[in-house]
Structure 1
Amino acid sequence: MTTTIRTLIPEPHVTQRLFADPHLASLWTLLRVFVGYEWLMAGWGKITNPAGVWVGEKAGVAVSGFLNGALAKTGGDHPDVQGWYAWFIEHLALPNATVFSYMVAYGEMAIGLALILGLFTGLAAFFGGFLNANFLLAGTVSSNPLLFILATWLVLGWRVAGYWGLDRWVLPKVGLDAPATEGARTAHSNPV
């Protein structure tokens, strides 16, 4: 029988303070709610679009237009959209534009609601950043760089970003440590 010795690498005090200290929960909550509101409004605008080009009888029209615009940016010496991503657009996204349309609209709403409520904050921020990265890969700038950076910070700060939210109660119910608990901070700072 072999015994595995697990050594924890101590967390630097700076990152422990930024990403795990409940004293900064108010700052993380403001950041989380701002990003959540941006996602919620983006999704709401798509779902309630009166033309029904995102969700409804003409679902997929807006996504097809967006994706065809991205494909137009694949030429030249310095294309805005790389060849491998153009392949993804052409062979996977465009043929399934209706499915992608619903996924984007409802995904943005779900990300926004989860972030505002502080429910599975790290996971919601990860998927928000994933959407931002895809929009950037498709050659769209807009607010995507800022939201991608903020989503990355929220993923790093998930322990305290959901402290003033549902994560504080839901995460222990699913077998995860509550955000920014004393035990979680101690385990990361004192190797055994």
Structure 2
Amino acid sequence: MAAARINTNVQIPEPNITKFLFADARLSPIWLVLRIYLGWQWLEAGWGKLNNPAWVGDKAGVAVGGFLERALGKTTGDHPDVTGWYAWFIQNVALPNKVLFSYLVTFGEILVGIALIVGLFAGFAAFFAGLMNAAFLLAGTVSSNPWMFIVATWLVLAWRTAGYLGLDYYLLPRLGVIFRRKAEATS
């Protein structure tokens, strides 16, 4: 049986609804509100860690180590909250490097928060926000992570307009992302 060939010259057009939701600058005020709110949540969380010696300073690693140890405690029972492969990652990668992870979490939260608030590479920042939320969820911590993950995912999808009312308005065109008026886009 011959292998099926994939025509790589085909482009599948974006549906009008997704163009409107994720690429229309008229919705950028909605993305601005969501972006700033999510960014503030991350900045506030990171700032709290920055001012806590158990996260950054002479006791760095203590807090994240405790968090990771508690996550390992959620790997047992009929329905464990933490899967085996993630428990392996925690045990063999994160815990032995808990001081590094303490700094990564703290400064990652601060940088993502600032980038989202000012609209600097908003889609990229939202991706890393969602990645952190996923890591916390995989470690068995629900809290606000599900809704923050959802908002981050929406912002990734709306990367073209999520930072339109922010620094992305000035930076994305310099990187080759061209903003066109609607009439130009349809012709």
TM-score normalised by structure 2 residue count: 0.91
Per-residue CA deviation, residues 51-85 of structure 1 (Å, 9 max, x unaligned), is x0000000000000000000000011110000000
- The 1:164/1:81 distance shift into structure 2, 3 A limit, reads same
TM-superposed CA distance for 1:156, in Å, is: 0.2
CA distance in 2, matches of 1:28, 1:153: 9
Map 1:27-176; keep pairs closer than 5 Å: 27-49=30-52, 52-173=53-174, 175-176=175-176
Where in structure 2 are there 5+ consecutive unaligned residues?
A: 1-6
Q: Report the AA paired with residue 87 of structure 1.
A: W
Per-residue CA deviation, residues 74-98 of structure 1 (Å, 9 max, x unaligned), is 0111100000000000000000000
TM-superposed CA distance for 1:6, in Å, is: 3.6
Q: How many pairs were matched up?
A: 180
TM-superposed CA distance for 1:157, in Å, is: 0.5
CA distance in 2, matches of 1:96, 1:114: 26
CA distance in 1, matches of 2:98, 2:160: 36
Map 1:173-188; keep pairs closer than 5 Å: 173=174, 175-178=175-178, 180-182=179-181, 186=185
CA distance in 1, matches of 2:153, 2:176: 21
**Using CA pairs below 8 Å that are at least 6 residues apart, which structure has the higher relative contact order?**
1
CA distance in 1, matches of 2:150, 2:8: 36
CA distance in 2, matches of 1:76, 1:176: 52
- The 1:5/1:90 distance shift into structure 2, 3 A limit, reads closer
CA distance in 2, matches of 1:66, 1:44: 18
2:21 aligned to which of 3, 18, 22: 18
CA distance in 2, matches of 1:121, 1:35: 11
TM-superposed CA distance for 1:170, in Å, is: 1.1
CA distance in 2, matches of 1:6, 1:167: 30
CA distance in 2, matches of 1:182, 1:40: 34
Q: Report the AA paired with residue 92 of structure 2.
A: H
CA distance in 2, matches of 1:31, 1:181: 24
- The 1:182/1:89 distance shift into structure 2, 3 A limit, reads same
Deviating above 2 A after TM superposition, structure 1's stretches of 4 or more consecutive aligned residues are 4-8, 180-183
CA distance in 2, matches of 1:176, 1:59: 41
CA distance in 2, matches of 1:10, 1:21: 15
CA distance in 2, matches of 1:115, 1:126: 11
3-state DSSP class of the match of 2:13? Answer: coil
Where in structure 1 are there 5+ consecutive unaligned residues?
A: none
* Identity across the alignment (%): 58
TM-score normalised by structure 1 residue count: 0.89
CA distance in 2, matches of 1:121, 1:141: 24
